[in-house]
Amino acid sequence: MNPIAWLVSLVLPACGFPAAEGLPTPPLMDVTQIVRPASPNTALAAPAGFNPSPDLVTPPYALQADRLFALVLDVATNQPRTYPAARYPDQLQAHYVARSAVFNFPDLIMIQVVPTGPGSSSLIVYSRSVYGQSDLGVNRKRLDTWLAALNTKVPPSSER
C-alpha cells in the first residue's frame, strides 16, 4: 500500500485494505428499492422508465440473461483496481469494489441483469462512493467506460 493511502486509512479505515477487504460483503440488493442519496456521489445506469431515474439509459439486449451477465462480469473483471466482492449467479447479480489509484478510496458497484423475455435482457449498474460528498464524476465515468466496453463484446447479431 502506498504511504498516502496508509495515512488516509487512519481516518477512513476501508482505505487501508486491498481489493474488497475492509468492507462488509454486499448483500443481495433489491434493485426496485434503490434510494439514491442527495449527495452527487452515485451513478445509475438502467433501462428507460426505471425508478429512480437513471443517469444513463441502458438499451435492451437481444441476449439471454445469463450470457449478458457473463459479458458484464468479464468487463468488470478487466477494469483496473476493480475486485469482486459478492456474486449471486442465481439472481444474476454481482458486486464489485473499485479502488482509486492514490488514496485507495473504495467505490461499490452493483450489477443486475434482468431477463425481459425469451432471448432478451436488460442491465442495471449502480456505482456509489463509500466516502465523500462528491465523487468528481468518477462513478458516472466508470459507468460510461463499462458500458462502452460491454458494447464491444455484444455480438454483432444483437439487435438493440
Domain that holds residue 72: 39-153
Stretch (H or E) spanning 98: strand 93-99
Judge whether 18 lies within some domain. no
pLDDT at 7: 65
Judge whether 13 lies within some domain. no
CATH number, residue 45: 3.30.530.20
Judge whether 4 lies within some domain. no
Judge whether 74 lies within some domain. yes
- Alpha-carbon dihedral sign for residues 31, 69, 117, 27: negative
**160 pLDDT above the threshold of 60:** no
Judge whether 89 lies within some domain. yes
Give the residue among 125, 118, 114 at the shortest CA–CA distance from 75.
125
Judge whether 34 lies within some domain. no
Number of structural domains in the chain: 1
49-71 mean pLDDT? 96
> Cα–Cα distance between 47 and 150 in angstroms, integer?
15
Judge whether 141 lies within some domain. yes
Q: Where are the beta strands (DSSP E) in the chain?
A: 42-46, 56-57, 82-88, 93-99, 106-117, 120-129
Percent of the chain's residues with pLDDT above 70: 88
Q: What is the pTM of this model?
A: 0.90
Judge whether 106 lies within some domain. yes
63-75 mean pLDDT? 97
Give the residue among 71, 66, 113 at the shortest CA–CA distance from 93.
113
Confidence category of residue 132, pLDDT binned at 50, 70, 90: confident
Average per-residue pLDDT in the chain? 90
